Amino acid sequence: MAKKLKLSSKDKAYLKGLGHHIKAFLQIGKDGISEAFINNLEAELEHHELIKIKILDNAPGDKKSFSTPIEKAVNCSVVGLIGKTLLLYKPFKEEPQIKLPRSASGAKKIRQTQ
């Protein structure tokens, strides 16, 4: 099983600031989280570390119910849910483009948990 990325509240606030002007790449509609949606999401996350997903009105279930299945399916972190928009972060495997803020001591690392 892949390790889950844990972000601090400071990291999430920083990523929300970066994601403010990003347009939604994908939409969750009446089919919910389908295999095709996951494939498209994985493809987008190979090119972009930070993406938005719009949850349409006809999507099945509650808007909060999409976070955990998406995180598990593509091993990413949900940075935030604002209205009906999810903001996702998955750093590139080699040389992440987004540098997360460090703590005052400069020793902060992104924690990986299982």
Q: What is the pLDDT of residue 2?
A: 57
pTM (whole model) above 0.85: no
- Are 44 and 57 a contacting pair, CB within 8 Å? no
What would the pLDDT profile of 82-96 be if each residue is shown by its tens digit?
A: 999 999 999 998 888
What would the pLDDT profile of 32-66 be if each residue is shown by its tens digit?
A: 999 999 999 999 999 999 999 999 999 998 888 99
What would the pLDDT profile of 5-37 be if each residue is shown by its tens digit?
A: 788 999 999 999 999 999 998 999 999 999 999
Domains and CATH numbers, the chain: 24-91 (3.30.110.60)
Q: What is the pLDDT of residue 1?
A: 47
